[in-house]
Structure 1
Amino acid sequence: MAPGSTRKLRVLLTNDDGPPGPGSPYLIGWYQHLTQNLGWDLKVVIPSTQKSWIGGAFHTAGTINGRYYYPKDTDGQGEISSSRRGLKEGEIGEWVLLDASPASCANIALQNLFPGEIDLVISGPNFGRNASSALTLSSGTLGAAFSSSLSGVRSIALSYGNMTEHIPTTFHKPAFELSSRIIQRLIENWSPHDNRVLYGINIPMVERLLHEDGMRVYWTSVWKSNYRRMFTEVPQVADNSSRTPDVIVPREGGGNPEDALEGKDLAFRFNPDYSELLSKSAPPEGTDSWALNVDAVSVTPYLTNFAELPESEHSFSSLQDREWKFE
């Protein structure tokens, strides 16, 4: 949208937490804030169920089915319909639910449902932080934003970091207000010629949001973190004596490989070890995780070609210099 334009900003809202509910507590309030307080023209296309930790995956097999969702202004709960219809009393919009990943939802929205009609994509607010390389590269919230950026549309991933077990609802409104102020600043200063840049915003849901002097906001870099254990073994008690193993894993040091599986299934459950990722002392100053740990907002710029190293680290004067040589 050109500077000074009076046309409403046309925004696609997506997420990885799905429709409003305990696992997606911010979506309805955020939607109301953007439509009622800012007057933005919002389209909502979201996964029909929780799709966290799925990264930028696309659904490539089978058919992706969708339905229409009509949330009410009280708690966001609404009626699901297989076909479009008019709004009923108390309903505040028509959303689209897709049986798909966040990245798929974003692409379908931009390329199939509303082609050429979106100025900005906001993915989130996510229920939880998306800071550090380990969480960022796994995030469905970031996956949708990267997908949108690769479609040539300005994109923002918004995440609310749960720094305590219980998040008071009094934190919601100031978080929405701060989020929209940051996003408006980004829009005003966004290069009109480069949509390869997208932004990740992390806001800690802490008491500081209620302070009169507000919360500090920092430009940050990504903390280069590592995964630890992501799965735990699930004990199996059923009698599997007649089961034929799909994979035979030999014991260390030799022996009969079938002995290692006798009376035991291979079964694991997703149960990440967050101890390092949530450490207060590990993240270096100036990184996204550091900002959250000091009760500040992290704003991190990304490039859609994020896997490419900076030119300063690999300087080439010609095409021949770029070519690998093997002796």
Structure 2
Amino acid sequence: MHILVVNDDGPPNTRLSPYIRPLVNELEKAGHQVSVAIPAASRSWIGKAHIIEASLTAHYVHPDWFRGDGSWDESYESEENNTPWVVIENGTPASCTQLGLHNLFTDRPPIDLVISGPNHGRNASTIYNLSSGTVGGALEAVFCGKRGIAISFGSKDPQPDDIIQAAARLAVRVVLHLHTVWDERVELYNINVPMRLDVESRPVLYTRTLPYYWSRGCLYAEAEVQSTPKSKLMNGVPNGVPNGVNGVDHEHADVNGVLTNGSSEHCNGVNGHSNPKQRHFKWSADLSDMKKRLQESEEGTDAHTVLNGSTSVTALRANFWHVPGLEGPLYLDQ
């Protein structure tokens, strides 16, 4: 079988993407041909997004050339497209799936299955499934007419090699079983594997998705941005800035030449007009409420299963389906 592997954690990285190489090794050990297309940087929480205004550059990189931080020795970058590992600048899991299926490995046989992952951490519950780049890579496979399987290894904590190897071995067994007995009603499977040494002897269970909704705004926090003192501005531009073009400091300006370093008193360089008030926010996910809900999740859900040490397999369809019975005209109140 020819398997395409994509992910949202990027190239092999001791801290951010420690699981992809062991899974690929196990798939190859089982006798399968594996092609890998991965983003050059982490693309977590991006779902099935494509970055439509960014050009994508594909680097063919031998897996032995990666360093522990996810970079690679560019002096050994393959001059020919003969390595099964490709790293894509500006890539997302979905674009890696698209390019992997249609553009990058045309000298190889057609791809039979797309595996997205293994994610560095769980993807259980509706919010994770709909936000996850890992699940997004498998969703993209479905819309390209292929079977997709998303795999997540359920811990972001550093894991010893023997636990990672056990998870990879079990994941390969589950994948091959699902491919053999694939239910035609299913378009993709979402697998969550707990990280424990005895995982191969623990149950593997079909599960349903835990429904979850944000109880409050908890993904972003206001960021403090240091303001440039008014006395140091001339026509809204810091004095003595050598890299300004047309009077604009591009380290502190947006695409319109407007200063964006946090002060509502800064001018935009045109007739001394002040900018509107600005507030700045940064990604600062507070998932404490979600973690509590996952801990309290009902038996039979993906979250409950993986948190209790078993592997969850959730069969999914790749759609937002309409609500049956709501049909026909709407009679609006006059």
Normalised by the length of structure 2, the TM-score is: 0.77
Equivalent runs, 1:1-327 vs 2, <5 Å: 9-22=1-14, 23-36=16-29, 38-72=30-64, 78-80=72-74, 81=77, 83-84=79-80, 93-99=83-89, 100-114=91-105, 117-162=110-155, 165-191=157-183, 197-209=187-199, 214-227=201-214, 228=216, 229-239=218-228, 241=230, 261=277, 265-279=278-292, 280-305=294-319, 307-309=320-322, 314-315=324-325, 322-327=327-332
Does the aligned pair in 2 maintain the 1:200–1:299 contact within 8 Å?
A: yes
Shift of residue 276 of structure 1? 2.2
Unaligned runs of 5+ in 1: 1-8, 87-92, 250-257, 316-320
Distance of 2:263 and 2:327 partners within structure 1: 44
Distance of 2:112 and 2:169 partners within structure 1: 20
Secondary structure in 2 matching 1:278: helix
Cα deviations by residue, 1:185-211 (Å, 9 ceiling, x for unpaired): 1011114x66x610000011134427x
Distance of 2:65 and 2:58 partners within structure 1: 22
Q: Which amino acid aligns with 2:80?
A: R
Does the aligned pair in 2 maintain the 1:67–1:83 contact within 8 Å?
A: no
Does the aligned pair in 2 maintain the 1:129–1:162 contact within 8 Å?
A: yes
Does the aligned pair in 1 maintain the 2:67–2:73 contact within 8 Å?
A: no
Distance of 1:201 and 1:58 partners within structure 2: 24
Secondary structure in 2 matching 1:30: helix
What residue is the counterpart of 1:6 in the other structure?
none
Secondary structure in 1 matching 2:159: coil
Shift of residue 17 of structure 1? 0.8
Distance of 1:286 and 1:10 partners within structure 2: 33
Secondary structure in 2 matching 1:277: helix
Distance of 1:138 and 1:85 partners within structure 2: 32
Shift of residue 322 of structure 1? 2.5
Q: Which amino acid aligns with 2:307?
A: N
Distance of 1:206 and 1:239 partners within structure 2: 51
Cα deviations by residue, 1:260-315 (Å, 9 ceiling, x for unpaired): 94xxx51211111111222254322211111122111111111112x115xxx625
Shift of residue 68 of structure 1? 0.8
Shift of residue 239 of structure 1? 2.8
Normalised by the length of structure 1, the TM-score is: 0.78
Secondary structure in 2 matching 1:322: coil
Distance of 1:94 and 1:105 partners within structure 2: 13
Shift of residue 84 of structure 1? 1.5
Cα deviations by residue, 1:93-122 (Å, 9 ceiling, x for unpaired): 531111111101101111223467100000
In the comparison of the two structures, how many residue pairs are matched? Answer: 286
Distance of 1:281 and 1:48 partners within structure 2: 33
What residue is the counterpart of 2:249 in the other structure?
none
Secondary structure in 1 matching 2:290: coil
Does the aligned pair in 1 maintain the 2:65–2:73 contact within 8 Å?
A: no
Cα deviations by residue, 1:224-273 (Å, 9 ceiling, x for unpaired): 11234001111223336466788999xxxxxxxx9x94xxx512111111
The root-mean-square deviation of aligned C-alpha atoms, in Å, is 3.0
CA separation of 1:208 and 1:103: change in aligned 2, threshold 3 A: same
CA separation of 1:215 and 1:324: change in aligned 2, threshold 3 A: farther
Range moving further from structure 2, 41-50 or 112-121: 112-121
Q: Which amino acid aligns with 1:324?
A: P
Distance of 1:10 and 1:223 partners within structure 2: 32
Unaligned runs of 5+ in 2: 237-257, 265-273
